Structure 1
Amino acid sequence: MHKTLFDQKERSLQGSADYNSDPYEYYNDSARTDVGIVRETIESWFKMYPDEEKDEMIARFKVSFDDTFFELYIYTLFSAMGYKLSVHPEIPDTLKRPDFKAEKGTEMFYIEVKHISMLSQTEKSQKRRENVLLDGMNKIDASNFLLNLKKITFKDQSQPSNKMIIKFFNEAIGKIDPDEYEKELLRVGFGGMPSITYEDEKVKIELSLFVKVEHKRGIQSRSIGSHPFQTQWGNDSATIKSALGTKGSRYGKFNAPYIICLNKQSISLDILELQESLYGSMEYSWSTNPENRDEKLRLSGNGFFGSSKNKKFTRVSGVYLTNANTANLVSTGDHAFRHNQFAEFPISLNITSSIQNILQLKETYPYS
């Protein structure tokens, strides 16, 4: 009997994952149809992974789901493009091993994989603290309402008391008549409705309410209906360059092309951000000669690959970047490959087909 990544069992867990839930455990236990389709897809990829490597991959999926998913994704993607991949191949003059060696006919290159975390350790701790709070707030008895979270302000590094927060909002919301609230809402609009605010020495929470439609009232469900908007200013080209730098010189010199595959989680793939991180930002130049301005728009050469006068990381032949995750492979998942024009070992690889086409996924994935 072949090894499986997930347990073969009856599943009964319904609903969305908690904010702080373990990803592997949720995918393993969920009975949702869409999660089941994702699980079956990942399982089909895992089936093709080398048997002698499966125990280690199972163990790593349970500890670091996103990183390990990306490794399996890359293995599956390049296999689907006709390459034969070896896992952790030996290379001369070092005990270090890249993730894969890819071969197709006379073509051969090495692959290193990295999932980029956009959060620092401090930010990760803050996110875990926030997730614990949100999981607690989903237990607020708002059976006639949904919570519209407007602002959450942590005052220190400690964890607020969910018990006190739940008690406060249960009492405050329990005094509100949904019919009267709806009438007032129609009269003054959302902007005119008062906030309900909880505050102690650790946290301040401001929220308002959405009234449930009448036939949904009295039914317990997840209480949070809306989160505060989070806006990203600028781009992450510096983070991409930093991630590439840790892999670019890891193995010394190869005797073959070497590519780095990065996974950066975002709603869409920003090609301009990728271009800037690899080739540098755009700069405008001109001549001081009034009769010939010779205006030019060119790459500054301050990217990962450097410039013709200052070539960098020439052992890296190219970079693959994607925002692929378990659910977006067809919807918003995208990818791009860019060559290093200064590479010591150039590579002929080109990726022009979509993730969906390469992996032969249905248009309706992951819903059917």
Structure 2
Amino acid sequence: MEIFTKGERVREGPPRAGESRYSYLNASAREEAAIARRTVEDWLADYPAGNFSHWLGDFQSADDGQHQSAFFELFLFQFFSKSGCEIIAVEPSFEGQKGNPDFHLRDKVGREFIVEAISPNFSADINKGKEKLTAEIKDAINSLPINNHLLILEKIEAPFESINKKRLADALLQWIANNPDENDLFEYRDKGALVQLKAIARRGLEASSRSHRPIAVEMGDVSISTPGMEIRRGLEKKPRSTEI
């Protein structure tokens, strides 16, 4: 099974709004992406064949949380291997244990221990539906042939269902055709969605057909994060510790 698709890659631009991390890594022709792909393939050379299929499914997932967890597991596999630990098993099973920890290891002096790694996903499940809908709106805007202006996304609120992208595109292109100045505000509402944009003329700048996208800046809201909370939630979903 292939980790990444084969063939020539020509895509130089940034990821699309809402595009999964694996999808972009697999498609990008940038040198940084090529290095990342080679690194993953090199690290998998010694990975247990019996665990590969399950790992690959997580790594190729469109869910970034699953993808990142799979990469973190592969990173830890390399870390423990290079640190001189014997990896007795990946995702071992123990009698009376619900679920499987990540590793069963033996260190240099013969001590055995279990590792259960937590890779917190800071995007709560309840927000994923809203994120998908706002990503669809951003993709619709970024697909438009707006080459003479840079857009500032002042605010975006998710709709309760998918909106008519063509209607949004027509309204935005008409607004751009009127050559708005930097203080003009484009505002669009549909099915609970709110999109507010400003435009800056691209004076003296050449738009690249391969990497340019209209939205150049996104203004974000202030967010509050409680240290350790996401890790705690992740631990609560994991199996209880096992003694050997």
- Residues 1:102 and 2:105 aligned together: yes
Aligned to 2:171: 168
How much has 1:215 moved relative to structure 2? 4.1
Aligned to 2:56: 58
TM-score (ref. length: structure 2): 0.86
Query: What is the alpha-carbon distance in structure 2 between the residues aligned to residue 10 and residue 234 of structure 1?
Result: 41
- Secondary structure in 2 aligned to 1:205? strand
Aligned to 1:194: 184
Q: Residue 105 of structure 2 aligns to which amino acid in structure 1?
A: A
- Residues 1:228 and 2:219 aligned together: yes
- Secondary structure in 2 aligned to 1:114? coil
Query: What is the alpha-carbon distance in structure 2 between the residues aligned to residue 33 and residue 55 of structure 1?
Result: 27
Mapping of residues 274-353 of structure 1, within 5 Å: none
1:327-360: per-residue Cα shift (whole Å, max 9, x none)?
A: xxxxxxxxxxxxxxxxxxxxxxxxxxxxxxxxxx
Aligned to 1:142: 146
When the two chains are superposed, the root-mean-square deviation of aligned CA atoms in Å is 2.4
Max Rg structure: 1
How much has 1:152 moved relative to structure 2? 1.4
How much has 1:100 moved relative to structure 2? 0.7
Query: What is the alpha-carbon distance in structure 2 between the residues aligned to residue 218 and residue 41 of structure 1?
Result: 29
How much has 1:36 moved relative to structure 2? 0.7
Query: What is the alpha-carbon distance in structure 2 between the residues aligned to residue 217 and residue 80 of structure 1?
Result: 46
Contact 1:145 1:217 in 2 (8 A): no
1:153-207: per-residue Cα shift (whole Å, max 9, x none)?
A: 33x4212222111110101101217xxx4xxx5xxxxxxx121222234322111
Aligned length: 237
Residue from 75, 78, 82 that aligns with 2:77: 75
1:97-150: per-residue Cα shift (whole Å, max 9, x none)?
A: 322112122122101123322233221111111111111110233210111011
Contact 2:10 2:28 in 1 (8 A): yes
Distance 1:39 1:217, change over 3 A: closer
Distance 1:175 1:252, change over 3 A: closer
Aligned to 1:131: 135
Aligned to 1:44: 42
Query: What is the alpha-carbon distance in structure 2 between the residues aligned to residue 176 and residue 95 of structure 1?
Result: 62
How much has 1:95 moved relative to structure 2? 6.5
Identical-pair percentage: 22
Q: Residue 28 of structure 2 aligns to which amino acid in structure 1?
A: S
Distance 1:225 1:146, change over 3 A: same
